[in-house]
Amino acid sequence: MNSTPAGRPLETSGPAARSTPGADHGTAAVPPVLQAEGLVKRYGAVTAIAEGDLELYPGEILAVIGDNGAGKTSLIKALCGALVPDAGRILLDGRPVTFRTPMDARRAGIETVYQSLAVAPGLDIAENLFLGREQRRPGFLGSVLRLLDKQDMRTVARRQMRELGIATLQDIGQAVESLSGGQRQAVAVARASAFGSKVVILDEPTAALGVKESDRVLQMIRDVRDWGLPVILISHNMPHVFDIADRIHIHRLGRRATVITPESHSMAEAVAIMTGAMPPPEPVSRVR
């Protein structure tokens, strides 16, 4: 059987296949898509996560911010299977799950785009989109001697790029090593949104990008959210966070300090909460 994007079926791909952005916001009965409860991770005498909590709701962009060493990276690693917590639990669609490897999280529908991108420079755009999930044609003996179905992969990749508004990538067969930093980020985000059926996690997606490329990437993130995929955004860029986030999770000293919105607090106040100069307010549970 060919490997097709789990989150974007070929017959119903595109914005129409997703729920309306924000449609579930403010509905009291709607549970989080992804939730962390009391996560703990220790390395000897060092506590990286101290009763870490997080809730990601349908149709939202949740930014996670915090000083270096605050534990936000460890929290995100636990959510994507790169780290196994010592205590606490993770729930996906209200059900407890255990991720011992990143592959476990991917199988569950959680796709992560790391700052290093993890693209293969020598492969083309379509091959990178399907990296590890290559589509193959039937072989001479059914599942034996099956060749890559490059034509179908390129058709899907071209559509995925078009739906993300990436008109600059006309040649889907060009090598990723020939692309700019923003275009490489676009390929990584396209791959995550194609196969992430539940959640997309983005680690510093605009780092080292220029203003125009950053704007394009931010719009892509909105598009992913608008398809109905909730997004966790880890970023040190406060203007970007306040421009794009529905809610902002502030992490401090290994745990969640609070959750705010761009409307409820200013960037200066967010930094003050992050550094401990301002007492944290009650967390905002969801966007209303």
Q: CB within 8 A of 249, min separation 6: which ones?
A: 54, 62, 63, 64, 65, 256, 259
Tell the CATH superfamily of the 30-123+178-275 domain: P-loop containing nucleotide triphosphate hydrolases (3.40.50.300)
Q: Is 190 helix (H, G, I), strand (E, B) or coil?
A: helix
Rounded Cα distance, 256 and 201, in Å: 18
> Residue 35: how many CA atoms within 13 Å on its side-chain side?
17
pTM score: 0.81
Output the tens digit of pLDDT for each of the chain's 288 residues.
Answer: 444 444 443 333 333 333 444 444 444 468 999 999 999 999 999 999 998 999 999 999 999 999 998 999 999 999 999 999 999 999 999 999 999 999 999 999 999 988 776 778 888 888 888 877 666 666 555 555 556 777 788 888 888 777 766 655 667 788 888 888 888 888 888 888 877 789 999 999 988 788 988 998 899 899 899 988 999 999 999 999 999 999 999 999 999 999 999 999 999 999 999 999 999 999 988 764
Task: Report yes or no: 22 and 61 within 8 Å, Cβ to Cβ.
Answer: no
- pLDDT value for 248: 98
- pLDDT value for 15: 33
Q: CB within 8 A of 116, min separation 6: which ones?
A: none
- pLDDT value for 165: 66
- pLDDT value for 27: 41
Q: Token pair for residue 43? A: 């390395």
Q: CB within 8 A of 154, min separation 6: which ones?
A: 126, 172, 173
- pLDDT value for 163: 72
- pLDDT value for 193: 81
DSSP-assigned letter for residue 20: P
